[in-house]
Structure 1
Amino acid sequence: MKKILIIALLMVGVKGTAQTANSFFETANTFFKTYISNGKVAYDKLHKNPEDLNKVIALAQAVNVTKNNVNTYQAFWINAYNLSVIKGIIDNYPTNSPLANAGFFDKVKHNIGGKNITLNDIEHKLLRAQFNDARFHFVLVCGAIGCPPLISEAYLPSTLNTQMDAQTKKALNGNFLMVNIKKKRVEASQIMEWYKEDFTMNGTTEIDFINTYRTEKIPANFKIKYFEYNWQLNKQ
């Protein structure tokens, strides 16, 4: 009888955790649809009325995900990162750049997913260190114009891989790269310089990675340079 009771309590706990995660994903999806347009954030609107932001952050605080369900884990922490960036901007608003606020990425703590962590912790410890996937760089949005654009929907466990592929393709077929045919040169975002090891895993080159997602392929003999990152705020 005692064993049955323990199993029942565990099942209730699992069900409750799943419901909390589902509520978070639904609320986050509504939030992004409401406040994100063409990759830009409605910071003025959120600063005047932060209730929706505070609501989704409160839900994120109560979510508990594990790597046992990889898609749920990754989708949660990608959304949590993007939401925490927005919260960090609103907490310092008005501001022209995330870098205008000391410790924005490496010192300021966020109460998310039962943890008290920095943005760098989410990106480098919970995601990059756990999974060898360079696509994270196209879905984690740091609040700057130089970042790949923020999408107007939440990343969901059921569609995560498709969404990550879509954002990577959008960036590598868009202004994340500038190709100069005459000079046989590709100019790429500094993200590809800062995290070169992520784009050259398993003996591949940066151009190999680019061509995996790019429609118009780049010749293997092209040289790569990097253009300066634009840290101006991604504001509507």
Structure 2
Amino acid sequence: MKKTLIVLFVLSIQFGFSQTTADFFNKTDRFLKTHVSNGRVDYKSIKKKPSGLDELLRIASKIKVDKSKTTTYQAFYINAYNLAVIKGIIDNYPTKSPLDIKGFFDKNTYALAGNKITLNNLENNILRKNFPNEARFHFVLVCAGLGCPPIIATAYRPTVLEKQLQQQTVKALNNPDFIKVKGEKVQISQLFEWYKVDFTHHGSEIDYINTFRKEKITEGAKVSYYPYDWRLNDIQ
């Protein structure tokens, strides 16, 4: 009888964990579909009714994710980052830029998976440090500035994460407003300058970009970085 109770207890914990994780992804998906359009966020509507976002972050604070379950771990923290960014904006809304909010990336903390963490720590220690060969994170983590690749109106999910990472990276690196090619000159986002180490494991930044481009940039093209656009990605 005791063994049966122990087994039932363990199963209930496992079931509750999986349910919570699934609940997080499903509710995140519904939230983003409601408040995101054309790569921009309707901060005004969220500010008026923040209960949906607050519920998501409450769920995220209690979830435990194991790094060995790679896609679940990555999908959770990508979504958590984007939701935390939105939370940071609406807590200070209206604002013109995340940079106008003191400590936005490096001081303000969010309760995620049982820990209090800043956006910078989430990006650099939870994701980049643990998965140093996955530069595609940079095309799905949305910092609330227009210089970021656009946020999508759906949750990142473990079962389709590889497809989503690839799709968003291809989309960004084929966007003429993101990669600006003029003859033998190419202007690329300061994102590549700040995180150069992530993009040059097996060659140059252009080698990395060309991996995902339909029209390849010519070898030897002169590279420069255009200024990052920190204006808020707010729905107008």
TM-score band (shorter)? over 0.9
Secondary structure at 2:159 match in 1: coil
- Decide which moves more: 90-99 or 50-59: 50-59
Q: Quote the Cα distance in structure 2 between the aligned partners of 1:207 and 1:129.
A: 23
Deviation digits for residues 196-225 of structure 1 (CA, Å, limit 9, x no counterpart): 000001x32111110111110111211211
Secondary structure at 2:14 match in 1: helix
| AA at the equivalent of 1:164 | L
Say whether 1:180 aligns with 2:182.
Answer: yes
| AA at the equivalent of 1:153 | T
TM-superposed CA distance for 1:112, in Å, is 1.3
Secondary structure at 2:116 match in 1: strand
Q: Quote the Cα distance in structure 2 between the aligned partners of 1:7 and 1:215.
A: 54
Structure 2 gaps, min length 5? none
Which residue of the partner structure matches residue 10 of structure 1? 10
TM-superposed CA distance for 1:180, in Å, is 1.0
Q: Quote the Cα distance in structure 1 between the aligned partners of 2:5 and 2:190.
A: 55
| AA at the equivalent of 2:204 | T
Q: Quote the Cα distance in structure 1 between the aligned partners of 2:68 and 2:179.
A: 36
Secondary structure at 2:106 match in 1: coil
Structure 1 gaps, min length 5? none
Q: Quote the Cα distance in structure 1 between the aligned partners of 2:3 and 2:204.
A: 55
Once the two structures are superposed, the pairs formed by residues 133-152 of structure 1 within 5 Å of their partners are 133-152=134-153
**Cα RMSD (Å):** 1.2
Which residue of the partner structure matches residue 37 of structure 2? 37
TM-score of the aligned structures, taking structure 1 as reference length: 0.95
| AA at the equivalent of 2:96 | N
Say whether 1:67 aligns with 2:63.
Answer: no
| AA at the equivalent of 2:123 | E
Q: Quote the Cα distance in structure 1 between the aligned partners of 2:28 and 2:35.
A: 11
TM-superposed CA distance for 1:151, in Å, is 0.3
TM-superposed CA distance for 1:21, in Å, is 0.3
Q: Quote the Cα distance in structure 2 between the aligned partners of 1:221 and 1:66.
A: 43
Which residue of the partner structure matches residue 211 of structure 1? 210
Identity, % of aligned positions: 50
TM-score of the aligned structures, taking structure 2 as reference length: 0.95
- Decide which moves more: 77-86 or 65-74: 65-74
Which residue of the partner structure matches residue 104 of structure 2? 104
TM-superposed CA distance for 1:12, in Å, is 2.1
Q: Quote the Cα distance in structure 2 between the aligned partners of 1:212 and 1:11.
A: 44
Once the two structures are superposed, the pairs formed by residues 21-60 of structure 1 within 5 Å of their partners are 21-60=21-60
